């Protein structure tokens, strides 16, 4: 009988909703300033829209929805006996819960291609679902906050995304490192090592560097067929070419030296990196006020697993708190909508991991104390003779737009109990109307934080509360 909720999901109390909205609103404000506009897509997508877009592992983590009506009939009446989940699935499910916001966005662009004007800049803040094993900081239902632009190949977009990250985390007060890289450089490394065909498996191996270290990556690379020791040595040299203590300019110089003329793709990647940095240099606010460039790092080992990235890639890491985890990421893709038949539409996008950001902001104690917009003033209801006056006051305060509440029932003499209620609800002000106040046609306004009391007439009261 005791009710519960599915593991990996959460209820949000008024305080938690207010705090999460504080994060969302901060992100939205910056997105809008840079010209991004909101869209929303359904929670349910056709299963065929999602299947095959996230790899085999991803497919397993998609929450599928049972067909409505007599869902078992197709299994019951199947000519061949249904033996397992794989055979059963297409017969009993054709819808699923959104797994991320990227694939629905690609689907949206293709479906609405005649209505949207390119370049199309959209943001989207909605929950997604994954049947991952729940653990600390990882949920089965969680929010993503994405901004993408499709139909523009300008590197100005990449530069603006760095500024968006910088501005959002500056507003939130969270120190971060923004790592950038370019998939073309990673491809260039494979070319330089003579193994361009192994780009995907090599990228996947490099992507694990954070977890397994350089030795681990080398071990992983050693397992790849067609990759000899010389190639691994060359790759390893590249992976050490950038480090967090070097300026971006120095990192680029090292990479240029290493690449020489060995890879046309790498040369293009370097040019893209330089163009983006050029825009940033012109667009970044004064060093004294925001992005100091010291927290922007070129990290050649940044790979990002998703295989649709083709150019610049981003990752943001919190530099404070115990989590130190990735709290954002994104990149340039040249053919995202190709999966739905619309070819050659380039785009670039970033994502904020709202739940992890919440945890970091909470740990660093950075939520504004006034995040919750509760009732501003409660009127006591403890004096029979004062009830009409109290109701009139309630009406007047609300007409002034002041969020107010009359204690919900008349309890003669129970001033103390009602003050306790206001205190527990963290209502900042209480109006007391006792017989003395009635006689003087005034109100006692009690500041619940300081305990200070003032005897005020109606005009003074409104002025104090507005």
261 to 300, contacts with a second copy by CB under 8 A? 279, 282-285
**272, 348 contact by CB (below 8 A):** no
Q: Is 364 in the site for a second copy (CB under 8 A)?
A: no
Token pair 């989940």 is found at: 85
Tell me which stretch binds a second copy (CB under 8 A): 60-68, 196-204, 298-306, 447-455. Answer: 60-68
Considering only residues 90-119, where is the footprint of a second copy by CB under 8 A? Answer: 92-95, 97, 107-108, 110-112, 115, 117, 119
Cβ 218 to a second copy, closest distance in Å?
A: 35
Judged by DSSP in three states, 86 sits in helix
Please give the distance of CA 158 from its chain centroid, rounded to a whole number: 18
Q: In the set 138, 253, 324, 395, which binds a second copy (CB under 8 A)? A: 395
Considering only residues 139-178, where is the footprint of a second copy by CB under 8 A? Answer: 140-141, 149, 152-154, 156-157
Q: Is 200 in the site for a second copy (CB under 8 A)?
A: no
Considering only residues 314-343, where is the footprint of a second copy by CB under 8 A? Answer: 340-341
Q: Is 224 in the site for a second copy (CB under 8 A)?
A: no
Cβ 319 to a second copy, closest distance in Å?
A: 24
Question: Residue 119 class from Cβ within 10 Å (0-12 exposed, 13-18 middle, 19+ buried)?
Answer: middle
**241, 254 contact by CB (below 8 A):** yes
Token pair 């006056």 is found at: 389
Q: In the set 66, 214, 249, 287, which binds a second copy (CB under 8 A)? A: 66
Q: Is 49 in the site for a second copy (CB under 8 A)?
A: yes
Q: Distance between CA atoms of 176 and 289, rounded to whole angstroms?
A: 15
Q: Distance between CA atoms of 302 and 29, rounded to whole angstroms?
A: 29
Q: In the set 59, 65, 196, 455, which binds a second copy (CB under 8 A)? A: 65
Please give the distance of CA 329 from its chain centroid, rounded to a whole number: 9
Q: Is 55 in the site for a second copy (CB under 8 A)?
A: no
CA distance readout (Å), 286 to 21, 205, 281, 282, 290: 29, 39, 10, 10, 7
Single out the residue of 120, 20, 131, 186 nearest to residue 349, CA to CA.
Answer: 120
Q: Is 225 in the site for a second copy (CB under 8 A)?
A: no
Q: Is 417 in the site for a second copy (CB under 8 A)?
A: no
Single out the residue of 43, 16, 58 nearest to residue 127, CA to CA.
Answer: 43
Q: Which is nearer to a second copy, 113 or 177 (CB)?
A: 113
Cβ 172 to a second copy, closest distance in Å?
A: 17
Q: Is 375 in the site for a second copy (CB under 8 A)?
A: yes
The residue count for the chain: 466
Number of residues that bind a second copy (CB under 8 A): 105
Cβ 341 to a second copy, closest distance in Å?
A: 5
Q: Distance between CA atoms of 49 and 386, rounded to whole angstroms?
A: 63
Q: In the set 14, 55, 213, 416, which binds a second copy (CB under 8 A)? A: 14
Q: In the set 122, 183, 304, 356, which binds a second copy (CB under 8 A)? A: 122
Token pair 């006591």 is found at: 380
Q: Distance between CA atoms of 378 and 428, rounded to whole angstroms?
A: 8
Tell me which stretch binds a second copy (CB under 8 A): 121-129, 184-192, 234-242, 430-438. Answer: 121-129
Strands 37-38 and 120-129, by their bridges, are: parallel
Q: Which is nearer to a second copy, 154 or 326 (CB)?
A: 154
Q: Is 80 in the site for a second copy (CB under 8 A)?
A: no
């Amino acid at each position: 009988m005791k009710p519960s909720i599915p593991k990996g999901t959460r209820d949000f109390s008024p305080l938690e909703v207010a705090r999460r909205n504080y994060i969302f609103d901060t992100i939205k404000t910056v997105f809008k300033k840079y010209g991004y506009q909101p869209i929303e897509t359904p929670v349910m997508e056709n299963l065929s829209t999602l299947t095959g877009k996230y790899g085999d592992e991803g497919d397993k983590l998609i929450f599928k929805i049972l067909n409505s009506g007599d869902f078992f009939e197709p299994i019951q009446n199947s000519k061949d006996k249904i033996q397992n989940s794989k055979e059963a699935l297409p017969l009993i499910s054709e819808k699923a819960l959104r797994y991320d916001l990227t694939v629905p966005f690609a689907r949206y662009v293709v479906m609405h291609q005649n209505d949207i004007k390119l370049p199309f800049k959209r943001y989207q803040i909605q929950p997604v679902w994954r049947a991952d094993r729940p653990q600390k900081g990882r949920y089965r239902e969680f929010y993503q906050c994405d901004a993408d632009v499709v139909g523009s190949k300008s590197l100005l977009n990449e530069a603006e995304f760095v500024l968006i990250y910088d501005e959002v985390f500056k507003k939130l007060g969270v120190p971060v490192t923004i790592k950038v890289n370019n998939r073309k450089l990673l491809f260039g490394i494979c070319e330089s090592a003579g193994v361009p065909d192994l780009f995907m498996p090599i990228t996947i191996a490099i992507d694990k560097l954070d977890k397994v270290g350089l030795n681990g990556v080398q071990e992983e690379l050693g397992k790849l067929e067609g990759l000899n020791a010389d190639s691994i040595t060359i790759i390893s040299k590249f992976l050490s070419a950038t480090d967090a203590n070097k300026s971006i300019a120095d990192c680029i110089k090292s990479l240029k030296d290493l690449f020489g003329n060995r890879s046309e793709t790498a040369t293009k990647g370097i040019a893209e990196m330089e163009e983006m940095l050029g825009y940033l240099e012109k667009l970044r606010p004064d060093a004294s006020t925001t992005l100091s460039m010291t927290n922007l790092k070129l990290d050649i080992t940044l790979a990002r697993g998703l295989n649709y990235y083709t150019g610049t890639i981003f990752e943001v890491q919190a530099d404070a708190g115990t989590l130190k985890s990735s709290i954002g990421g994104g990149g340039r893709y040249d053919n995202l909508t190709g999966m739905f038949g619309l070819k050659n539409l380039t785009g670039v996008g970033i994502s904020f991991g709202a739940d992890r950001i919440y945890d970091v902001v909470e740990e660093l104690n950075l939520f504004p104390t006034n995040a919750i917009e509760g009732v501003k003033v409660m009127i006591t209801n403890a004096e029979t003779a004062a009830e009409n006056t109290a109701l009139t006051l309630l009406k007047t305060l609300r007409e002034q737009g002041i969020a107010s509440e009359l204690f919900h029932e008349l309890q003669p003499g129970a001033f103390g109990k009602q003050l306790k209620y206001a205190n527990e609800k963290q209502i900042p002000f209480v109006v007391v109307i006792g017989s003395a106040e009635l006689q003087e046609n005034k109100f006692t306004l009690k500041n619940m934080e300081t305990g200070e009391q003032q005897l005020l007439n109606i005009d003074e009261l409104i002025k104090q509360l507005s």
